[in-house]
Amino acid sequence: MDSKALLKTIVKAADDKKAEDIVVLNMQGISLITDYFLICQGTSEKQVQAIAREVKSAAEKTGLDIKKIEGFEEARWVLIDMGDVIAHVFHKDERNYYNLERLWGDAPIENIQKELAP
């Protein structure tokens, strides 16, 4: 599965668990480790874990092996490394603090509205 198809799959998975403020940064040509960052947030630890679980499950259903998951137990910032796509699932209180969108401000934001359309 190519990185764009994987991205669409996990954007839908995050949206299915009511992830808020979903943003995708195109890291191609900026980062050597990944093509895309998916960044989203949940309003509670339980929701952050539910979003992370759904993203992991959706990626695995495509046959992809997850490289690494960090932060799941604490559920403040869960990082799911799928190789070409890295998902960052934040608790809403942590997202503003780390502000990855500003940190990677030179990365273009992908238009994901068609993936989120009902």
Mean per-residue pLDDT for 53-82? 95
pLDDT in tens, 16-52: 999 999 999 999 989 889 999 999 999 999 999 999 9
Distance CA 29, CA 27 (A): 6
* Averaged pLDDT, 105-114: 83
Partners of residue 54 on adjacent β-strands: none
Greatest CA separation found in the chain?
35
